[in-house]
Structure 1
Amino acid sequence: MLTEILVVFTGGTIGSRRSGAVVDVDGGAGFELLERYRALAGPLSEAVRFETVQPMMLLSENMTPGHWLGLVRCLRERLGAEPGRFAGAVVAHGSDTLPYTAAMLGYALADVRLPVVLIAANRPLDDPLSNGVRNFAAAVDFILDAALPGVYVVFENDRGEMPVMLGTRLTEARPFDDQFVPTYGAPLGHMRDGRFVPCGHAVNPPVAALRAPRGPALPPEGIGFATDILYIRPYPGLDYGLYDFERLPRRPSAVLHGLYHSATACSARAGAYASSLPAFAARCAALGIDVYIAPAKAEDTARYRSAHEIAAADGVRALARIAPEAALVKLMAAYGTWPGRDPEAVREREKFLARNVFFEHHEGGDW
């Protein structure tokens, strides 16, 4: 009996071709992926049947929340139309915004009882150095071998390893070498010879927790993603005076403020409003703009004085032990699904933000 896997093509490098000095999406490149997989896997591929769908075709840097909603609808409709038909789904995506889409699907499909695996490629498929086909093959192997429900990312690294990462724990690929590094440097596991080998790191959830049933974290029929969330990263000389919200016709609903690697940012107050995060947060609070920081350390861990001062500042809300990419998408989902200042909407937002939907909160680490 053939095992069926849904394959969703969205574009990206894995769905592109090179023409001269330009790389751009090509509607036929995705289907070339299946042909190359068959050639790579040989007789093993004969046990798998692929159902394909192409709801969009774009470079992932052009992805918007509207595309996210289309992708969620596509996956829910296809996987839910005939329960039990598919063993899982592979989503072929671009690498630039892969962490954001992966986190989004981790929240939006938290209740789905099948593995949904996102893949990308470092180069177009016709480039001999491309890892796209190997990533696809590893995703298929993960679905067949591990069969773990949830959202995952598989992407071969420059050491020839094939890490499997939780969709909500992926950070942006590094510039210059294009490598994805999971939080704590600890992937969920690796694919080796067609088998999933878990990584026994303290922050990783046990396999039993991954298999445990989960209810929907977001209402499937009412999900939304806000586009009025502002993301600010700290750097020496950051001038908050440039964010003149009082003069804007449209203000952000919330600000996500990143932190340095030690969970700090400038907390100086002495005659220096321009660079003081606590002062900026107080100004935002007066305008009805919520301010969040991430990744913050948990309250029971040792922190620098500046981190304590920021956490204690009026109007600052800490999102602890979560990658910035996952934090930003979570805020977009919270404010898009439950917008406004109505007390019930505020309660639902806060409940969702506090909930560990799909292991985006790192338990067991030193943060």
Structure 2
Amino acid sequence: MTEILVVFTGGTIGSRQTGAVVDVDSGTGYALLERYRESAGALAEEIRFETAQPMTLLSENMMPAHWLALVRCLRERLATEPERFAGAIVTHGSDTLPYTAAMLGYALADVRLPVVLTAANRPLEDPRSNGLRNFAAAVDFIVDAALPGVYAVFENDRGEMPVMLGTRMAEARPFDDQFAPPYGAPLGHMLDGRFVPHEHAVNPPVAALRAAREPGLPPERLGFTTDIVYIRPYPGLDYGLYDFERLPRRPAAVLHGLYHSATACSAAAGAYESSLPAFAARCAALGIDVWLAPVKAADSARYRSAHELAEAGVRGLARIVPEAALVKLMAAYGTYPGRDPETVREREAFLARNVFFEHHEGGDW
């Protein structure tokens, strides 16, 4: 008998539609298990589900406090009874799925079992919903692949079931609601109940996924700060609107996104309001760190503006999706807060580490 821990958190996969309103329903998760048992046939007889429900909410309302509760729930079950479970499934909303997946990738990097997040495009009673198929694929991945670490499965609009690393997910695209992994290269696909790895230069080999890993973050100190400001570049961005000097509460750090060519405005001639290097210098004077993501590999050709950013001392997180970079900063400054030298050393060591393949190898990015 295979035992799987299922942790319900809400989201569309845990919702019902009443009229024109979709909202979470605490009993829907258990209905999902019943639907699975009815559809899976003989396989369902070989699997026992243990359930937990630490929260019930739409994922857009997820906060760092919920992340901590989710980590505690998973660690208490998986770490204290490592031989009992084959793995865990976390049902979640699709809106913030990449952020929770990245968070779990860092917080549970050392767990020797698969933890699979999944969601649904529509409530389960809607015949167009992919929720049951996604859940079944998560079960199949645990049973067949048995890869330790944090992953996500979500059926795409072509009927394929990609498997993605938890730390390599961007938000679903507007308009078509699709998750697109970096380079268009998911870790693999589920096909007829089997995991088929996708061989690509950016993907870690299966042997690397099976290898033992150090804890990503100390469980006894784990924290996630909200004192991070995320800025995306656009033509005419006015940094004068970010006058941190006058604020009663200043951010611990700024994550600054980049255009697809790893660039942002570096113009300096009489244009402080639009110059990222000048903005970064002002932040540095206030003790606020500025990070860029994703930056290109150091040995890749870069545009002049990208060189100017590097020369100005603006540091970057390389080869990482912005969602995973943001969560990594929230974890780094939340777990290692403050400015004393030892804390700064620990924080920057964590940021430099490739905790769970968030910094991919291969390619310019």
Q: Same fold (TM over 0.5)?
A: yes
Unaligned residue ranges in structure 2 (runs of 5+): none
| Matching residue of 1:99 | 98
| Matching residue of 2:178 | 179
2:112 is paired with a residue whose SS is coil
| Matching residue of 1:240 | 239
Distance 1:235 1:366 in 2: 23
Q: CA deviation at 1:83?
A: 2.0
Distance 1:81 1:51 in 2: 14
- Decide whether the 8 Å contact of 2:79 with 2:111 is kept in 1: no
Q: CA deviation at 1:342?
A: 0.7
1:138-287 to structure 2, matched below 5 A, reads 138-287=137-286
Q: CA deviation at 1:264?
A: 0.7
Cα shift readout 1:228-274 (whole Å, capped 9, x = no counterpart): 01000000111000011111000000000000111111111111111
1:210 is paired with a residue whose SS is helix
Q: How many residues align?
A: 365
Distance 1:355 1:83 in 2: 26
Instruction: Work out whether 1:355 is the aligned partner of 2:353.
Output: yes
Cα shift readout 1:24-52 (whole Å, capped 9, x = no counterpart): 00011111111111122112111000001
1:282-293 to structure 2, matched below 5 A, reads 282-293=281-292
Could you tell me which amino acid in structure 2 is paired with residue 350 of structure 1?
A: E
Distance 2:180 2:250 in 1: 34
Identity rate of aligned residues, in percent? 84
Unaligned residue ranges in structure 1 (runs of 5+): none
Q: CA deviation at 1:80?
A: 1.9
TM-score normalised by L of structure 2: 0.99
Distance 1:126 1:342 in 2: 54
Q: Which range moves more in the overlay, 246-255 or 77-86?
A: 77-86
1:362 is paired with a residue whose SS is coil
1:56-75 to structure 2, matched below 5 A, reads 56-75=55-74
1:51 is paired with a residue whose SS is strand
1:311-322 to structure 2, matched below 5 A, reads 311-314=310-313, 316-322=314-320
Distance 1:339 1:321 in 2: 25
Q: CA deviation at 1:365?
A: 1.8
- Decide whether the 8 Å contact of 2:5 with 2:89 is kept in 1: yes
Could you tell me which amino acid in structure 2 is paired with residue 347 of structure 1?
A: R
Distance 1:81 1:221 in 2: 15
1:81 is paired with a residue whose SS is coil
